[in-house]
C-alpha cells in the first residue's frame, strides 16, 4: 500500500485503464503536452502518444459530442472538461446525445464513455472557476453521475466508469486534489457504481454528503462526538443512481438526518434525498430532515469573505445537527 493524493489516484486510474484496454483514449484541453491544468494527465501523452491523449481545441461541444461518436464505433473515451463552469456548452451533446443514445435507438447504439469534470469551490476560483452543476446531470435519466471524496474512491470509481457500459459524468473536486492522501492498494480494484459508503457508524443522527462536503462533515462529526452526539456519516459517492437503501436504512436507525451540499440549496441533489426520505421512511423520522447547503446565490463569489460565507463548513453542520437533535 502506498499513500497517494486524490489527483494521483486519478492519474493512476487513467494510466492503468489505458494500459489495460487500448480502446481507452483521452481528449480535453491542455491534457497532453501540458499534462492538464492541474496535472491530472501528467506523463500520459509521453506514454500513450498524441493519438490517445488528444489536446483538443477550445470546443466543449465537440469534446462531449465527439466522444459520443468515438464510443459508438467501439472506443472508450475519457473526456475532460477543464472546469465544471465550462460544461454548459456541452449540455446539448451530453443531454441529447450521450444520455439518450441507448434509449432512442432501442438499445442498439450505446455510449460507454466518461466525462471527467473538475469542479468545486474553496480554491479562490470565483464565479467562473468554482461551479458544480451536478444537479443537472443528476436529474437526467440515462446518465450515471459520480463524485468521489477519497483517493481510493477516485481511483476505483474512475476505473468502474471506464469499464462500464453506461455514460458517466465523473465530478472530481479540485479542492481535494492535493489536500488529502490515503493508502490505496497497488493491485487493481474498482469501486462499484451505485453504492454509498458509510464513513462512520453512529446512532443518533444520519449525515449525508458527497465530495468535499464529506470532509466538512467528518470535522463536524468529530466536534459533535465530543458533545456526545453519535453521527452516522454516509458518503453518497454515486449521485445517480443513488443508493437509496443505505440512506434509508441509516435513517431508520437514527430517525434524524442532516444533508450537506456544497452547491446552492434550491433544486439541488439533497432536495431529492430529503423528499425521498420523507416519502419512504417518514414514520421513522423524529425531526424534519434538514439541509446545509451553499447559499442561494450564483456559485461562487470571489472575495474571500463571501466565498467563506457561501460554503457549508463544519460549524454550520454542527449547528444544523444540534438544531435537529434538539427538535
Ligand X SMILES: Cc1ncc(C[n+]2csc(CCOP(=O)(O)OP(=O)(O)O)c2C)c(N)n1
Q: Catalytic residue, from 129, 173, 215, 308: name it.
A: 129
65 contacts which partner out of other proteins, ligand X, a second copy, none, CB within 5 to 8 A by kind? other proteins
Site for a second copy in 130-149 (CB under 8 A): 133, 135-136, 138-142
Nearest Cα residue to 9 out of 178, 152, 173, 159 = 152
User: Binding a second copy by CB under 8 A: which of 22, 183, 186, 296?
Assistant: 296
Residue 105 found at the interface with a second copy (CB under 8 A): no
In the complex with a second copy, which residue's Cβ is closer, 81 or 184?
81
Nearest Cα residue to 102 out of 135, 136, 144 = 144
Annotated catalytic residue 129: yes
User: Binding other proteins by CB under 8 A: which of 10, 78, 84, 101?
Assistant: 101
Spatial distance between the Cα atoms of 240 and 217, rounded to a whole number of angstroms = 21
What burial letters (b/e) apply to 14-47, b meaning 16+ CB within 10 Å?
Answer: bbbbbeeeebbbbbbbbbbeebbbbebbbebbee
Minimum CB distance to other proteins, residue 12 (Å) = 22
Determine the size of the site formed for ligand X (CB under 6 A): 5
Residue 55 found at the interface with other proteins (CB under 8 A): yes
Rg (CA), the chain: 19
Site for ligand X in 50-89 (CB under 6 A): 58, 60, 82, 86
Q: How far is CA 19 from CA 12, 15, 16, 189, in A?
A: 10, 6, 5, 15
Is there a contact between 33 and 24 (Cβ–Cβ < 8 Å)?
no
Show which residues are catalytic.
Answer: 129
Interface residues with ligand X (CB under 6 A) are 29, 58, 60, 82, 86
Amino acid at each position: 500500500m502506498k499513500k497517494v493524493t486524490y489527483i494521483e489516484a486519478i492519474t493512476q486510474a487513467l494510466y492503468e485503464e489505458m494500459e489495460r484496454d487500448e480502446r481507452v483514449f483521452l481528449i480535453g484541453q491542455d491534457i497532453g503536452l501540458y499534462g492538464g491544468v492541474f496535472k491530472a494527465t501528467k506523463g500520459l501523452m509521453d506514454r500513450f502518444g498524441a493519438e490517445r491523449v488528444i489536446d483538443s481545441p477550445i470546443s466543449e461541444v465537440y469534446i462531449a459530442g465527439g466522444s459520443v461518436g468515438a464510443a459508438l464505433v467501439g472506443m472508450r473515451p475519457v473526456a475532460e472538461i477543464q472546469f465544471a463552469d465550462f460544461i454548459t456548452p456541452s449540455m446539448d451533446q451530453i443531454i441529447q446525445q450521450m444520455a439518450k443514445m441507448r434509449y432512442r435507438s432501442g438499445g442498439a447504439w450505446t455510449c460507454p464513455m466518461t466525462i471527467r469534470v473538475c469542479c468545486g469551490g474553496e480554491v479562490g476560483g470565483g464565479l467562473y472557476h468554482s461551479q458544480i452543476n451536478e444537479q443537472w446531470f443528476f436529474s437526467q435519466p440515462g446518465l450515471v453521475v459520480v463524485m468521489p471524496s477519497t483517493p481510493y474512491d477516485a481511483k476505483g470509481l474512475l476505473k468502474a466508469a471506464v469499464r462500464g457500459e453506461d455514460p458517466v459524468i465523473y465530478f472530481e473536486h479540485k479542492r481535494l486534489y492535493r489536500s488529502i492522501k490515503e493508502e490505496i492498494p497497488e493491485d487493481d480494484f474498482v469501486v462499484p457504481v451505485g453504492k454509498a459508503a458509510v464513513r462512520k457508524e453512529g446512532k443518533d443522527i444520519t449525515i449525508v454528503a458527497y465530495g468535499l462536503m464529506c470532509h466538512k462533515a467528518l470535522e463536524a462529526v468529530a466536534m459533535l462526538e465530543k458533545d456526545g452526539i453519535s453521527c452516522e456519516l454516509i458518503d453518497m459517492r454515486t449521485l445517480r443512481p443513488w443508493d437509496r437503501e443505505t440512506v434509508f436504512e441509516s435513517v431508520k436507525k437514527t430517525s434524524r438526518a442532516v444533508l450537506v451540499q456544497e452547491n446552492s440549496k434550491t433544486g439541488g441533489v439533497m432536495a431529492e434525498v430529503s423528499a425521498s426520505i420523507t416519502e419512504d421512511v417518514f414514520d421513522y423520522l423524529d425531526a424534519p430532515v434538514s439541509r446545509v447547503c451553499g447559499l442561494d446565490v450564483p456559485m461562487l463569489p470571489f472575495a474571500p469573505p463571501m466565498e467563506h460565507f457561501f460554503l457549508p463548513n463544519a460549524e454550520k453542520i454542527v449547528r444544523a445537527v444540534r438544531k435537529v437533535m434538539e427538535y
